[in-house]
């Protein structure tokens, strides 16, 4: 049984699948902290969790152009200057359960909590590559491929790739991380080493990193080629040509209301109710504003407070937690709350899911709408 040796998990994580293990924390706990505690961080595994002895761990590197190879132990990786970044990791399928209401899609039915924000430490990928002679202007490669140590029954590892520009940019903050929130990375999140690619879809943040290949080509892995891609709403499983869409890298702007929850009874105080949630954008774009509505999107006001780390655009890799107090119309006992975030490039979330529906249920970032009952 490849799943006989899975790590223990926090009881509040709600599994959407047990083998492989996939789970998200309750929404209200998610926004209690700007930095998500390790045990509450969502888990997205495609395969069984490998059991890796850190003292025997080896990371292989290959430059396809020069055929230069290298092997690094965990100790070797720790010799590089330790770089720390606060980075949100979000699954490309976060909030899929809302898109499903338009029309069913294939994929795990994630709620709004397939996202977390952590402080990651490790070696800069650009420093490691520089030691192999791979530098901006000195390589003809276009991509950096990552392979996990987790494998499927045919022995194929999990994999994905990013563009060489992101990997070599010292301001891109890509790290070979061995710490998550000041602790060794927990097994579920990639112990002992995972790559953190700030601002880029979770799928490329490869856990249990076993191999790095600098190449002219993208990763051939299923998750790069035939998954985590967006398509027009008319495309389905019968008509899709996966080659026609690029693999998702930087994620678009998103937000969610985490308090109150759908269907909750909310106490009205002085004609107002309190709302709380998160907002984030990929590509290092910072959240500059979150707009909220208590009448289904007719009237809007900016959230009162945005909490985030200090990082500035275009290196704002972490999310923002926001709070708002909104007036509710008198005489109403039910209202629809809405939230939409705006990032530092003034990108804004789409209004509804009909327009952005795609058969894989990715990039599900329309306004978040939550219906609540009012008690006065």
- The residue among 13 and 339 lying less far from ligand MTE, judged by its C-beta, is 13
- The H-or-E segment that residue 279 falls in is strand 272-280
As measured in angstroms, the least distance from the Cβ of 158 to ligand MTE is: 4
- Tell me whether residue 80 or residue 158 sits nearer to ligand MTE (CB atom): 158
Q: Give least dist CB 327 to Mo ion, A.
A: 38
Q: Smallest gap, in angstroms, from Cβ of residue 46 to Mo ion?
A: 8
Q: At its nearest, how many Å lie between ligand MTE and the CB of residue 188? A: 6
Q: Measured from the CB of residue 78, what is the shortest distance to Mo ion in angstroms?
A: 28
The single residue among 40, 47, 91, 123 that binds Mo ion, judged by CB under 5 A, is 91
Q: Report what 42 binds from ligand MTE, Mo ion, none; CB cut-off 5-8 Å by kind.
A: ligand MTE
CA dist., res. 124 & res. 200, Å (int): 16
**Smaller CB distance to ligand MTE: residue 202 or 260?**
202
Sign of the Cα torsion 37, 38, 40, 44 reads: positive
CB of 44 to Mo ion, least distance (A): 5
Q: Which does 6 bind (CB under 5 to 8 A by kind): ligand MTE, Mo ion, none?
A: none
Cβ atoms 276, 290 nearer than 8 A = no
Residue 44 or 166: the one with the smaller Cβ distance to ligand MTE is 44
Spatial neighbors of 28 by CB under 8 A, at least 6 apart, are 258, 259, 261
In angstroms, the CA 308 to CA 318 distance is 7
349: partner contacted, choices ligand MTE, Mo ion, none (Cβ within 5-8 A by kind)? none
**Residue window 18-57: x/- pattern of binding to Mo ion, with contact defined by CB under 5 A:** --------------------------x-------------
How far is the C-alpha of 257 from the C-alpha of 32, rounded, in Å? 13
| CB distance 261 to 369 below 8 Å | no
Instruction: List alpha helices for the chain, DSSP H.
Output: 27-30, 74-79, 96-99, 125-130, 164-168, 222-225
Work out whether 74 is an interface residue with Mo ion (CB under 5 A).
no
Three-class SS of residue 244? helix
Least gap, CB of 15 to ligand MTE (angstroms): 13
Q: Are strands 175-180 and 157-163 parallel, antiparallel or unpaired?
A: unpaired
Contact residues toward ligand MTE (CB under 6 A) are 41-47, 89, 91, 148, 150, 158, 188-189, 202-203, 205-208
**In the complex with Mo ion, which residue's Cβ is closer, 212 or 248?**
248
Looking at the Cβ atoms of 115 and 335, the one nearer to Mo ion is 115
Rounded alpha-carbon distances, angstroms, from residue 20 to 48, 160, 165:
6, 18, 33
Judged by CB, which is closer to ligand MTE: 42, or 357?
42
Closer residue to ligand MTE, CB minimum distance, 47 or 290 = 47
Q: In what order do the strands lie in the sheet containing 301-302? A: 265-267, 368-375, 334-343, 287-293, 301-302
In this structure, the number of other CB atoms found within 10 A of the CB of residue 371 comes to 13
45 binds, among Mo ion, ligand MTE, none (CB under 5 to 8 A by kind): ligand MTE
CA 40/CA 271 separation, integer angstroms:
34
Please choose, from the candidates 199, 133, 122, the residue with its C-alpha nearest in 3D space to the C-alpha of residue 168: 133
From the list Mo ion, ligand MTE, none, pick the one residue 124 interacts with, judged by a Cβ distance below 5 to 8 Å according to partner type. none
202 near Mo ion, judged by CB under 5 A: yes
| Rounded Cα–Cα distance for residues 284 and 198 (Å) | 7
- Identify which of residues 44 and 124 has a Cβ nearer to Mo ion in the complex: 44
- The residue at minimum Cβ distance from Mo ion is 91
User: In whole angstroms, how close is the CB of 7 to ligand MTE at the nearest point?
Assistant: 11
Least Å distance between CB 141 and ligand MTE? 22
For 278-296, give one letter per residue: b (16+ CB within 10 A) or e: bbbbbbbbbbbbbbbbbbe
Work out what residue 52 binds among ligand MTE, Mo ion, none; the CB cut-off runs from 5 to 8 Å by kind.
none
Judged by CB under 5 A, the number of residues near Mo ion is 4
Residues that bind Mo ion (CB under 5 A): 44, 91, 202-203
């Amino acid at each position: 049984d490849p799943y006989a040796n899975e790590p223990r998990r926090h009881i509040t994580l709600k599994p959407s699948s047990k083998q492989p293990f996939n789970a998200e924390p309750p929404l209200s706990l998610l926004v209690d902290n700007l930095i998500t505690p390790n045990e509450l961080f969502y888990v997205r595994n495609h395969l069984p969790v490998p059991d890796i002895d850190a003292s025997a761990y080896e990371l292989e590197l290959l430059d396809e152009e020069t055929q230069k190879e290298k092997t690094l132990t965990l100790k070797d990786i720790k010799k590089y200057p330790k770089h720390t970044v606060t980075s949100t990791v979000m699954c490309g399928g976060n909030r899929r359960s809302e898109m499903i209401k338009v029309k069913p899609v294939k994929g795990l039915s994630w709620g709004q909590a397939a996202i977390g924000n952590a402080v990651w430490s490790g070696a800069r990928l650009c420093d490691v590559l520089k030691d192999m002679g791979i530098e901006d202007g000195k390589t003809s490669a276009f991509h950096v491929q990552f392979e996990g140590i987790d494998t499927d029954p045919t022995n194929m590892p999990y994999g994905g790739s990013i563009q060489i520009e992101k990997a070599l940019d010292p301001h891109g903050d890509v790290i070979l991380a061995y710490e998550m929130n000041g602790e060794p990375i927990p097994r579920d999140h990639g112990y002992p080493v995972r790559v953190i690619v700030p601002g880029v879809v979770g799928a490329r943040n490869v856990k249990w990193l076993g191999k790095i290949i600098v190449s002219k080509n993208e990763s051939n892995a299923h998750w790069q080629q035939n998954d985590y891609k967006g398509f027009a709403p008319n495309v389905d499983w019968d008509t899709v040509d996966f080659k026609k869409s690029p693999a998702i890298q930087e994620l678009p702007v998103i937000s969610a209301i985490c308090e109150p929850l759908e269907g909750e009874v909310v106490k009205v105080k002085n004609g107002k109710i309190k709302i709380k949630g998160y907002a984030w954008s990929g590509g290092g774009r910072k959240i500059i504003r979150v707009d909220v509505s208590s009448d289904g999107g007719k009237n809007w006001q900016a959230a009162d407070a945005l909490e985030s780390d200090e990082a500035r655009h275009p290196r704002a890799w972490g999310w923002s937690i926001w709070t708002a107090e909104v007036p509710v119309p008198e005489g109403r006992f039910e209202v629809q709350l809405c939230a939409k975030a705006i990032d530092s490039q003034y990108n804004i979330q789409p209004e509804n899911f009909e327009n952005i529906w795609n058969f894989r249920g990715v990039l599900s970032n329309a306004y978040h709408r939550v219906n609540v009952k009012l008690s006065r």
